[in-house]
């Protein structure tokens, strides 16, 4: 627990926690990274299960999506690490967070097993039907990543953050202002 406390009390974590604008931006980039990551994985997994068709080769589909998958993974990893640092002690005791991390490990294991055992013979089925092992890996991957997203979103409802406004921040709740004025003021 001392490592987790050290992370949470670091200068960067304190800055993230007390900034009104930075953490929401990091959260938004995290969601974009996850969308890119899952979107490209879904394209490859759907090809594995034969939806919409097997006309396009698996190898080509995987090659074209892979670089975007890694970009999404990098965005999600960096921003997720920053969000974790801001409230590390809260996250390590959060069941939704622990479940999400376990599911991420399982998704990684599923991918590793697929790459080592099944995909090495992809040339044999590249333009035809995928063997049962590949279809199972694709279906399992979709299920695991949807579960990661579900539990990741659930964290937001169970995290127990301190919503106290940092000192020196003045919030203007003049409800006579239009929505756009408030939005532009918040972004400035």
**E strand or H helix that includes residue 90:** helix 88-91
Residue 158, domain extent: 2-187
pTM, full prediction: 0.79
Q: How many folded domains does the chain comprise?
A: 1
Query: What are 112-138's pLDDT values in tens digits?
Result: 999 999 888 888 887 777 899 999 999
Query: What are 55-91's pLDDT values in tens digits?
Result: 788 888 888 999 999 999 999 999 999 999 998 988 9
Using alpha carbons only, how large is the chain's radius of gyration in Å?
Answer: 21
Count CB atoms within 10 A of the CB of residue 94: 18
DSSP state string for 127-181? TSPPPHHHHHHHHHHHHHHHHHHHHHHHHHHH-----PPPTT------TTS-HHH
Looking at per-residue pLDDT, the higher value among 18 and 175 belongs to: 18
């Amino acid at each position: 627990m001392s490592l987790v406390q050290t992370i949470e009390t670091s200068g960067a974590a304190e800055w993230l926690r007390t900034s009104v604008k930075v953490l929401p931006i990091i959260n938004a980039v995290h969601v974009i990274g996850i969308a890119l990551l899952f979107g490209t994985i879904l394209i490859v997994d759907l090809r594995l299960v034969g939806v919409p068709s097997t006309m396009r080769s698996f190898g080509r589909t995987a090659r074209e999506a892979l670089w975007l998958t890694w970009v999404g993974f990098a965005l999600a990893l960096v921003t997720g690490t920053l969000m974790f640092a801001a409230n590390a002690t809260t996250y390590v005791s959060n069941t939704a967070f622990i479940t999400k991390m376990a599911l991420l490990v399982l998704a990684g294991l599923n991918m590793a097993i697929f790459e080592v055992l099944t995909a090495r013979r992809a040339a044999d089925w590249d333009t035809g039907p995928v063997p049962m092992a590949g279809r199972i890996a694709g279906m399992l991957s979709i299920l695991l990543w949807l579960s990661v997203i579900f539990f990741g979103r659930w964290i937001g409802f169970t995290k127990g953050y301190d919503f106290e406004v940092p000192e020196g921040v003045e919030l203007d709740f003049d409800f006579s202002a239009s929505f756009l004025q408030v939005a532009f003021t918040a972004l400035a």
